[in-house]
Amino acid sequence: MYKIRVGLGSCGIAAGGLAVYDKLTEETKGMDVEIYPTGCVGMCYKEPLVDITGEDGRTVTYGSVKPNMIGEIVKSHIIEGKPLLKWAVKDSSGECKTDNYQDKQVKIVLRNCGVINPEDIRDYIDAGGYAAIRKALSMDPYEIIEQIKESGLRGRGGAGFPTWLKWKNTREAPGTPKYIICNADEGDPGAFMDRSVLEGDPHAVLEGMMIAGYTIGAEQGIIYARAEYPIAIKRLKTAIKQAQEKGYLGDNLFGTNFSFNIKIRQGAGAFVCGEETALIESLEGKRGMPRLKPPYPAYSGYRRKPTVINNVETLANVSWIINNGGDKYASYGTEKSKGTKVFALTGKIKRGGLVEVPMGMTLREVIYDIGGGIKKDKEFKAVQLGGPSGGCIPESLLDTTVDYESLTKTGAIVGSGGMVVMDKDTCMVDTARFFMDFIVKESCGKCTQCRLGTRRMLDVLERICAGDGQEGDIELLEGLAHMVQDTALCGLGQTAPNPILTTIRYFRDEYEAHIKEKKCPGGRCKQLIHFSIDPDKCVGCGLCARKCTSHAISGEPKKTYHIDPDKCTKCHTCYDVCNFDAVVIS
């Protein structure tokens, strides 16, 4: 019997995976095959993906599959037994040279994503699922804490706080009941790590919560997920229901006196609710705004009771650590940053998707060896790490290792795991403006420093991008940034100036060009740029004219085309589609 997996994470569905799934079902009707959905294996750039596994165990993965390819794949691979290697991106037999995207990765968090059916608990159990909670229930809670301590696992939500210490403090804090909360409120632009884990392996998160609950003495778990993740929430609900039916959630689990239940709460998508105390306020039905600390949630959290808050990725590591030992997990990574980290690799990258790499790998390896380098082989300019609270790292620092300490020294942070790659056609001033605009819109407004300080910084950036920058603006931005950094109430406000500080630190010349020369080196600020066509490079193909929605380009085939500056909206479409570099931005 053939087993066929179709990637139906958000990326797979967006790329047309449902139509591929339906076509496969139609074409294999009556055949000895099993077709089932799976989550994202990380190769988002090749979705929709289809895996076909034969009785001999050989698995061939087809990428960029379209419904009109299914008939040929089924005929050759399933009926005739000959894999169609011209469309293969992976082949477990090694018969053909395929994509090396996975070669340098180490899958712990993503071990089941793209492999099991996330909507069938039996698949998770067959992959070793729920063995860790059985093992944990035979251990003393402090033995578990010691294993987590030995592993070196730090919170993967951004702050990097030692997980074992958070659990220990909560266990020893007076007061009952206690709570374990899974923070699934992933709000960074360009980040989709937690979403993919929830869509591809929801039971791993549930099991991690169960182990955490037993360790700290909690009987109630809460998953706080943003409502913009409908597929993740649907699969979480299915997983919880199946676990309850199996007796894996509820009273007296696995014949012990430990009882544990999990419920889901949906958030409206406020970025600030990624901050743990703001998340708690939202759970309690209040406006999501950070609390003053101390007391910390470990002592006074949800309903003012001891509470542990871990994000999705942190919890997805837990069962693997219990099954394999803290020392095995600690064998990956660096001295102070152990294990692996999941990153969402996006932007101007050839192979965008989800990657899981051991801590200590360099940014250059992630971007070039795994990501394949920059689209169209353009010049690399920067990589933005850590979301709106992160920073932009230049080419000169690409050999920086991916760990908490090294990235912090650059002015960026690991954050939750967003990694946005930018090429030479990126304006770093406009990039800082984009992230500051996001922060201003998402600021809860509780503290004056963040509410007004970020707004003032955005005003200055918008003025610079519009060509109205003044001498002293750079120093004004630095002063405002340090003020907000030093005085904002919560971690989100304190790190909000990072994009400004790092772009000034590494790309000061671009700020000066905007202010002094009234030019945008990245060619993005509309008031500072002009589009024209180089007659020596234009071949008269007319593609730019056909794609121009403002009808600003005129000319005749096989002759030089021209751009009317009065009609040009500076949308960059002509620049992006020209295959001869004939469109010039000045």
Full-model pTM: 0.94
540 sits in the region (left: phi over 0; alpha: psi -120 to 50; else beta) called left
Cα-to-chain-centroid distance, residue 147: 27
Distances (CA, A) of 445 to 141, 255, 267, 448, 450: 40, 49, 18, 7, 7
C-alpha dihedral sign at 437, 440, 443, 449: positive
Computed from CA positions of residues 154, 159, 165, 169, in that sequence, does the dihedral angle turn out positive or negative? negative
Taking only the tens of pLDDT, the chain with its 586 residues reads 999 999 999 999 999 999 999 999 999 999 999 999 999 999 999 999 999 999 999 999 999 999 999 999 999 999 999 999 999 999 988 877 677 888 899 999 999 999 999 999 999 999 999 999 999 999 999 999 999 999 999 999 877 899 999 999 999 999 999 999 999 998 888 889 999 999 999 999 999 999 999 999 999 999 999 999 999 999 999 999 999 999 999 999 999 999 999 999 999 888 899 899 999 999 999 999 999 999 999 999 999 999 999 999 999 999 999 999 999 999 999 999 999 999 999 999 999 999 999 999 999 999 999 999 999 999 999 999 988 888 999 999 999 999 999 999 999 988 888 899 999 999 999 999 999 999 999 999 999 999 999 999 999 999 999 999 999 999 999 999 999 999 999 988 999 999 999 999 999 999 999 999 999 999 999 999 999 999 999 999 999 999 999 999 999 999 999 999 999 999 999 999 999 999 999 9
Do you find a cis peptide bond into 83, omega within 30 degrees of 0?
no
Single out the residue of 212, 157, 164 nearest to residue 183, CA to CA.
Answer: 157
Lookup: tokens for 530: 């002009």
What is the distance between the alpha carbons of residues 471 and 475, in angstroms, rounded to a whole number?
A: 9
Are 523 and 571 in contact by the 8 Å Cβ rule? The answer is no
Spatial separation of the C-alpha atoms in residues 45 and 352, rounded to whole Å = 5
